[in-house]
Amino acid sequence: METIQAVGQAKQLQYWAPEDKITIFTNGQDGSEQYEAKLRAIAPHLPFGVENRKISRLEEAEKSIHVYLADDETPREVGFLVYDPLTSSGSFAWQLGLNRTATGNIAADHPFYQTSVRGVFAAGDCITAHRSIPHASSSGYYAAIAAMKQLHGDLYEFQSVVDQTGYRAD
């Protein structure tokens, strides 16, 4: 999880959990100490704990989750675990050479959701760091209409509105 995401999630959890019970697991991220320093710099007044060891496995318990850390068979018991990576795009997106946003998602904008490659449209979680069903279904709807218009244009040899406006995320 990116530092800014991790701190954002920890801050949100403040409403449900006592502050001193919030732990950010860095999963042994490279340069864990620098990572922890970055976290603390972003939220100097947020009293969360940081666990720098690698997570070896998770187990569901009756009313909690057991987090097992590297070389330690005594689990950390947590009530709620959040995993929120910045990007959720598959490797095919990079194989196609699609442009990415600063948050690592595929760049594709309203209203056509065409990517930087003509004829490739993207919608839903893969284009945003703010993932939700309303966004996924509405962007999917717009992308599907735009793809259909472009295909019509290609089929009947006219320039579709998608190509006319050049609305593409580059």
Q: Which positions touch ligand FAD (CB under 6 A)?
A: 90, 92, 124-125, 131-134, 136
**Distance (Å) of CA 169 to CA 38, 102, 147, 149, 151:** 31, 13, 15, 18, 19
Tell the smallest beta-carbon distance from residue 98 to ligand FAD (Å): 14
Given a contact cutoff of 8 angstroms between Cβ atoms, the answer to whether 143 and 123 are in contact is yes
Of 22 and 143, which CB lies nearer to ligand FAD in the complex structure? 143
Tell me the residue number closest to ligand FAD, measured at CB: 124
Of 14 and 138, which CB lies nearer to ligand FAD in the complex structure? 138
Of 39 and 143, which CB lies nearer to ligand FAD in the complex structure? 143
Of 133 and 155, which CB lies nearer to ligand FAD in the complex structure? 133
Tell the smallest beta-carbon distance from residue 43 to ligand FAD (Å): 24
State the DSSP code for 145: H
Tell the smallest beta-carbon distance from residue 54 to ligand FAD (Å): 23
**Alpha-carbon gap, residue 139 to 132, rounded angstroms:** 11
3-state SS assignment for residue 60:
strand
Of 49 and 119, which CB lies nearer to ligand FAD in the complex structure? 119
**Which residues, other chains included, contact 91 with Cβ-Cβ below 8 Å and sequence gap of 6+?**
none
Tell the smallest beta-carbon distance from residue 60 to ligand FAD (Å): 14
Q: Characterize the bridge pairing of strands 49-51 and 23-25.
A: parallel
Tell the smallest beta-carbon distance from residue 46 to ligand FAD (Å): 23
The residue among 100, 99, 107, 109 whose CA lies nearest residue 165 is 109
